[in-house]
């Protein structure tokens, strides 16, 4: 039963006023609009460059020059998308705030797929077109391209690198590799894109056809390179140095988890919000350079940074062995699963395993009346549960209702429920707990497949899709 104590020992959050909430939402909309406009307007600009270069006339000639015109168009599109691939993953605030991490990863996959096919089409079409014009065998033409045209040898190496990265990112291949190996290989895509570009500027008519075209490509290439340097290396280093984040305590958390507390200088200026995550590098010895994303498991407004991890492999296991005083390098804060996404006065939080971490920080940071927030947690056994003490405080002092659904997975029925609830449909569980599901914000965090099942049941139970907010703990 939920009890609400009279005098809470923990600081209650200051409720955002409705106008502050509207302003937060307007800002989020403006970032999203800006990000969409940047991508679409530049893509149209690139097609316009091709039209200006006589692309349509060449296409309608219906001879070898049509193949060349199409080859040039696919080359332009591929170059634009490849540079956007770099920009999308460079932690540029416009895209981080405009899309959020989950959507960014989806866009990155989609853009990666189309940029690869556009690049392959570009090669095949130009080889076929030039071979037809010169009346030579396409393989002879390909050989000539690689050896005789300026920058083409570099472009060939770049293409091979990009294809290698694409192949190892196919799900089946990706599952067979250690995350670290895959990530290291993935970084070769930067090199691939970087060395493929000179051939476009040396030989591509559309790239040097006008001062506007040349300025555009150099600017985009320069922006992509500078963004990686500034947002992935420079800014995280500068923030880490400025805030001097240091481990202050390490606690065992449940049977398979650990909670790390950190302090630092002027943490209020980090701009971190409950529900967000950082990529952390702890300077505790060899292997420190491998960053791991962990969400804040306590509201950062309380003056410290807290993360809670379920031990999965080397990176999480070493957290338990750290000593107070260990320095941390940070990248972030990232993530849009914050209070800004919220529309209603009531909250339904559903977390599996370590997914409970950002939900606890949100429940600590958000404003709600006692009895209007529900936290459903899902673990294999109750002894595994993370942040149990913080959850007990939330029940006691903020009046949340905690519904632990522990136990092995159900073999039938809703895939996210435990075996003990296999007779229940997932939507019925939600209807049983919340009387009006059209007026609740649902926050969901856990493994991908589990989240898909929860979200499907939330929608089936009547929660409007825009009120379901998620953060996946996988990439």
Ligand X SMILES: Cc1cc2nc3c(=O)[nH]c(=O)nc-3n(C[C@H](O)[C@H](O)[C@H](O)COP(=O)(O)OP(=O)(O)OC[C@H]3O[C@@H](n4cnc5c(N)ncnc54)[C@H](O)[C@@H]3O)c2cc1C
* Binding track over 167-196 against ligand X, x by CB under 6 A: ------------x-----------------
Between 100 and 427, name the residue whose CB sits nearer to ligand X: 100
Residue nearest to ligand X (CB): 313
- For position 278 contacting ligand X by CB under 6 A, the verdict is no
Residue 25, classified by CB atoms within 10 Å of its CB into exposed (0-12), middle (13-18) or buried (19+), is middle
- For position 473 contacting ligand X by CB under 6 A, the verdict is yes
Burial 61-70 (b: 16+ CB within 10 A, else e): eeebbbbbbb
d(CA 69, CA 47): 12
The 3-state secondary structure of 336-357, one letter per residue: CCCHHHCCCCCEEEEEEHHHHH
- For position 34 contacting ligand X by CB under 6 A, the verdict is no
Q: Which of 199, 281, 292, 467 binds ligand X (CB under 6 A)?
A: 292
Q: Which of 43, 65, 248, 316 binds ligand X (CB under 6 A)?
A: 316
Q: Which of 91, 122, 256, 310 binds ligand X (CB under 6 A)?
A: 310
Between 292 and 467, name the residue whose CB sits nearer to ligand X: 292
- For position 349 contacting ligand X by CB under 6 A, the verdict is no
Considering just the CA atoms, what is the radius of gyration of the chain in Å?
26
DSSP string covering 141-175:
HHHHHHHHSTTHHHHHHHHHHHHHHHHHTSHHHHH
Question: Strand, coil or helix: what is 244?
Answer: coil
Between 175 and 266, name the residue whose CB sits nearer to ligand X: 175
- For position 314 contacting ligand X by CB under 6 A, the verdict is yes
- For position 152 contacting ligand X by CB under 6 A, the verdict is no
Reading the block at residue 143, the tokens are 């050989």
- For position 280 contacting ligand X by CB under 6 A, the verdict is no
d(CA 267, CA 270): 5
d(CA 358, CA 295): 6
- For position 300 contacting ligand X by CB under 6 A, the verdict is no
d(CA 243, CA 470): 29
Q: Which of residues 353-392 bind ligand X (CB under 6 A)?
A: 354, 357
CB of 418 to ligand X, least distance (A): 20
Q: Which of 295, 338, 361, 470 binds ligand X (CB under 6 A)?
A: 295
Which residue ranges make up the site for ligand X (CB under 6 A)?
179, 277, 291-295, 307-310, 312-316, 354, 357, 471, 473, 475
């Amino acid at each position: 039963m939920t009890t609400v104590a009279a005098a809470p020992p923990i600081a209650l959050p200051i409720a955002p006023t409705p106008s502050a909430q509207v302003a937060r939402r307007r800002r989020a909309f403006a970032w999203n609009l800006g990000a969409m406009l940047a991508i679409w307007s530049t893509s149209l600009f690139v097609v316009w460059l091709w039209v200006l270069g006589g692309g349509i006339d060449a296409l309608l000639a219906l001879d070898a020059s049509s193949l060349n015109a199409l080859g040039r168009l696919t080359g332009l599109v591929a170059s634009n998308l490849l540079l956007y691939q770099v920009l999308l993953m460079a932690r540029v605030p416009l895209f981080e705030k405009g899309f959020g991490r989950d959507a960014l990863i989806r866009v990155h996959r989609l853009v990666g797929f189309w940029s690869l096919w556009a690049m392959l089409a570009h090669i095949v079409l130009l080889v076929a077109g030039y071979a037809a014009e010169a009346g030579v065998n396409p393989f002879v033409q390909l050989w000539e391209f690689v050896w005789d045209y300026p920058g083409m040898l570099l472009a060939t190496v770049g293409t091979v690198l990009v294809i290698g990265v694409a192949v190892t990112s196919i799900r089946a291949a990706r599952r067979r590799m250690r995350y670290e190996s895959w990530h290291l290989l993935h970084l070769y895509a930067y090199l691939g894109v970087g060395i493929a570009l000179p051939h476009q500027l040396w030989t591509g008519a559309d790239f040097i056809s006008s001062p506007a075209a040349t300025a555009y490509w150099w600017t985009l290439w320069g922006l992509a390179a500078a963004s990686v340097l500034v947002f992935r290396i420079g800014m995280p280093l500068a923030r880490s140095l400025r805030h001097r984040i240091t481990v202050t305590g390490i606690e065992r958390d449940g049977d398979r988890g650990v909670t790390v507390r950190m302090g630092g200088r002027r943490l209020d200026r980090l701009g971190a919000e409950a529900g967000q995550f950082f990529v952390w590098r702890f300077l505790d010895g060899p292997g420190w350079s491998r960053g791991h994303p962990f969400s804040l498991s306590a509201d950062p407004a309380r003056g410290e940074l807290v993360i809670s991890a379920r031990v999965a492999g080397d990176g999480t296991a070493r957290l338990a062995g750290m000593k107070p005083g260990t320095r941390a390098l940070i990248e972030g804060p990232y993530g849009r699963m914050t209070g800004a996404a919220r529309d209603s006065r009531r909250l339904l939080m559903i977390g599996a395993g370590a997914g409970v971490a950002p939900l606890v920080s949100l429940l600590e940071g958000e404003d709600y009346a006692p009895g209007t927030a529900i936290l459903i947690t899902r673990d294999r056994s109750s002894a595994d549960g993370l942040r149990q003490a913080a959850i007990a405080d939330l029940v006691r002092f903020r009046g949340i209702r905690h519904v632990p659904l522990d136990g092995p997975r159900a073999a039938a029925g809703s895939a996210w429920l435990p075996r003990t609830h296999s007779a229940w449909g997932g939507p019925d569980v939600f209807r049983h707990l919340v009387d009006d599901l059209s007026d609740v914000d649902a926050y969901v965090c856990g493994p991908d497949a589990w989240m898909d099942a929860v979200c499907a049941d939330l929608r089936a139970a009547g929660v409007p899709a825009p009120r379901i907010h998620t953060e996946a703990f996988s990439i």
